Amino acid sequence: MNARHVALLALLSLGGSALVAQPPDAPPPDQYQAPDSYAAQPADSDAVQPAAYDPQPPDQYAENQGGPVDETYFYNQLSPYGHWVESRDRGWVWLPYGVRAGWRPYALGHWVMTDYGWTWVSDEPFGWATYHYGRWAYDPDYGWEWIPGYEWGPAWVAWRTGGGYIGWAPLPPEVGFRVGVGLDFGGVDLNVALGPTHFCFVEERSFLRPNVFSYVEPPARNVTIIHNTTNITNYTVVNNRVVNQGIPVQHVEQVTGQRVQRLQVTAVKSGSVRTAQVRGSQLTVFQPPIVRKSTSAPPPPPQQRARATGAVLQRQHQQETQALQTQQAQERARLQQIHQREVQSQSTSQGDQRQRSAQERQAPPERQQQTEQRQATPPRGTASNQDLAQRHQAEVQAQQQQHQREQQQLEARHRAEQQSAQRQPPPQPQRRGEQQQPKEKKPQEKQNPPPRR
């Protein structure tokens, strides 16, 4: 992280962090053990719970009276939950605060089937906007950024399935949408544009869970899961509606063992309620019509919290560092538990196979020949001990790299906060990639409006 990023990091730091809560207990031991003599684990020991959001400012939205609004509507609506910064490549983008390390879009919520296809119902206060308009992009320095858009959709995601898993990830900004046509990939290959850690993967049987986040595989597992899946992204336009088909409903019903309820979307274009609500066979969603303006005003300054200084800031940083260590230790333990169960399952399977082989050796010669043919072709989905060990090693390495990135980002933000706390008055937001102007120089000129998408 170089010096030109300090001012932006300082701006992002004003929103606080979900890692700040009560001082956590000391992190458990984090030494990863090779899966050779694991002990049995509870069936649901790998389930995780989402981190709670920091208390946000009260909702002071001005009600939309039902008429069309422009993209500045997002500026006012989302400012209580994140920061607007200007990117050289994408114009004004929004970054949420109050999210845990490793946070991904389309994780806190659940899927329902509607007349628009698979629709994401978010548990996050900003979900009505960021999961139905615009696109998400991942920046290695700053994390996930949301780019405003104008077309409402049930969810803008790519789908993958295979190997007993279903996965989804935000569509990249380069993938557009044309009315009457559908998705416009513009030469973008989703297999290349979306990395393994962009996806949320769950076992097929858990796809309809109302708390699906608790069943999302650790991101480190994605590096091996993704190789057993294929891209099945499929959006169509039916009666001027964007339809997110993705996973066939019949397949979901088969693997989950439950009937998929079909809901009808009811759009609400005004009022103060933003959260989607299921009422009987209807899903009520907030869907203001967004129109393009010939000119756009820059977003208002984000709502800033009180800046911590001195010993208070130092204590806050210590709590954040310890909380991150605790979270990462829990993630390592969860990955180890998953590996442990896989090794045990394979050992049990191999033991059963040896027992069957011993019984079949006593069978007539014709049956022995059939047994030899079956053993020559291992069952689909099985892996040798060596393959399983290599897969586990790749996942452990991916997790180590992920944790290193999270630690570096946290340390960089702490340095930025320490520097900004020593400056009075607080620094003004600056464009990404530009050097901060010295105090003796004149203020920067008024920022240009974000480019139209």
Over the stretch 210-221, which tens digit does the pLDDT of each residue have? 999 999 999 999
Sheet with 135-139: strands ordered across: 82-87, 91-96, 143-147, 135-139
Place of tokens 């609506």: 77
Question: In this structure, are strands 82-87 and 91-96 parallel, antiparallel, or unpaired?
Answer: antiparallel
| CA angle at 188 for the pair 182 and 193, rounded to the nearest 5° | 120
The residues that bridge with 119 in the sheet, in sequence order, are 112
- Tally the domains of the chain: 1
Under DSSP, the state recorded for 69 is B
Dump pLDDT digits (tens) for 106-117: 999 999 999 999
Q: Terminal CA-to-CA distance of the chain, rounded, Å?
A: 29
Query: Is pLDDT of 96 > 70?
Result: yes
Under DSSP, the state recorded for 290 is B
Angle between helices 385-421 and 310-360 (to 10 degrees): 170
Per the model's pLDDT, the better-predicted residue between 74 and 53 turns out to be 74
Classify residue 64: in a domain, yes or no. Answer: yes
Place of tokens 């043919």: 373
**Chain Cα centroid distance, residue 114:** 22
Per 3-state DSSP, the chain is made up of helix, strand and coil in percentages (nearest 5) of: 35, 20, 45
Q: How many C-beta atoms lie closer than 10 Å to residue 44's C-beta?
A: 8
The residues that bridge with 112 in the sheet, in sequence order, are 119
pTM for the predicted model, two decimal places: 0.72
Domain that holds residue 277: 47-286
- Which residue from 46, 18, 15 is spatially nearest to 339, judged by alpha carbons? 46
What is the C-alpha separation between 120 and 278, in angstroms, rounded?
A: 12
Query: Is pLDDT of 209 > 90?
Result: yes
Q: How many C-beta atoms lie closer than 10 Å to residue 152's C-beta?
A: 21
Classify residue 142: in a domain, yes or no. Answer: yes
Classify residue 248: in a domain, yes or no. Answer: yes
**Rounded to whole angstroms, what are the CA distances from 246 to 10, 136, 230, 232, 449?**
40, 19, 12, 6, 36
What is the C-alpha separation between 167 and 120, in angstroms, rounded?
A: 13
Residue 451 burial (C-beta neighbours within 10 Å; 0-12, 13-18, 19+):
exposed
Query: Is pLDDT of 55 > 90?
Result: no
The residues that bridge with 85 in the sheet, in sequence order, are 93
- Which residue from 7, 176, 170 is spatially nearest to 85, judged by alpha carbons? 7
> In percent, how much of the chain has pLDDT > 70?
67
Query: Is pLDDT of 378 > 80?
Result: no
Query: Is pLDDT of 105 > 90?
Result: yes
Classify residue 147: in a domain, yes or no. Answer: yes
What is the C-alpha separation between 168 and 104, in angstroms, rounded?
A: 11
- Which residue from 150, 152, 196, 147 is spatially nearest to 172, judged by alpha carbons? 147
Query: Is pLDDT of 129 > 50?
Result: yes
Tell me if residue 238 falls in helix, strand or coil. strand
Q: Which two tokens stand for residue 106?
A: 């389309």
Query: Is pLDDT of 176 > 60?
Result: yes
| CA angle at 29 for the pair 23 and 32, rounded to the nearest 5° | 135
What is the C-alpha separation between 232 and 168, in angstroms, rounded?
A: 10
The pLDDT of residue 376 is 45
Place of tokens 């993704």: 226
What is the C-alpha separation between 379 and 7, in angstroms, rounded?
A: 56
- Which residue from 164, 417, 209 is spatially nearest to 314, judged by alpha carbons? 417
Instruction: Indicate the residue type of 323.
Output: A
Residues 6+ apart with CB under 8 A from 167: 159, 160, 161, 199, 200, 201, 202, 222, 225, 226, 229
Dump pLDDT digits (tens) for 139-169: 887 789 999 998 999 999 999 999 999 999 9
- Which residue from 431, 453, 432 is spatially nearest to 444, judged by alpha carbons? 431
Classify residue 6: in a domain, yes or no. Answer: no
The pLDDT of residue 257 is 95
Query: Is pLDDT of 120 > 60?
Result: yes
Tell me if residue 324 falls in helix, strand or coil. helix
Dump pLDDT digits (tens) for 382-412: 568 888 999 899 999 988 998 998 888 788 7
Classify residue 430: in a domain, yes or no. Answer: no
Task: Bin 187: left if φ > 0, else alpha if -120 < ψ < 50, else beta.
Answer: left
Classify residue 69: in a domain, yes or no. Answer: yes
Q: How many C-beta atoms lie closer than 10 Å to residue 222's C-beta?
A: 25
